[in-house]
Structure 1
């Protein structure tokens, strides 16, 4: 966890300052992280009774986020290029 904290705090203050100075960047960040935060909200509606269930839900949410952030945009780009 220490390594993650060092990595995160090496750039986080700079990004926070830039968000305060640039409202357009702040909105872009908000739009970019909203799907991820929404997918994590799924965990509020499930009963998790074991580590195995938590692992299963966690893997499912990771796959959902990969689909939203990488696969869906790639499909859209592919279809747009195919039209031309």
Structure 2
């Protein structure tokens, strides 16, 4: 799956859909482990580029909101 482009603003809904897609992939990891691994990759990607401080805060908030939306949806489905 293609990485997110953090030079544009990332919406929580897009992050949420990405987490759900990752959670449904066939893998030897559990659903939460796959989501947490992708969360770590997203944060690492975000921190590796040069953005102003205010924009990074907004991006981290969007990722965090998408993460919790995905966990809530997956918990409700099970």
TM range (shorter): 0.3 to 0.5
Normalized against structure 2, the TM-score is what? 0.44
Higher relative contact order (CA 8 A, sep 6+): 2
* Bigger helix fraction: 1
Normalized against structure 1, the TM-score is what? 0.41
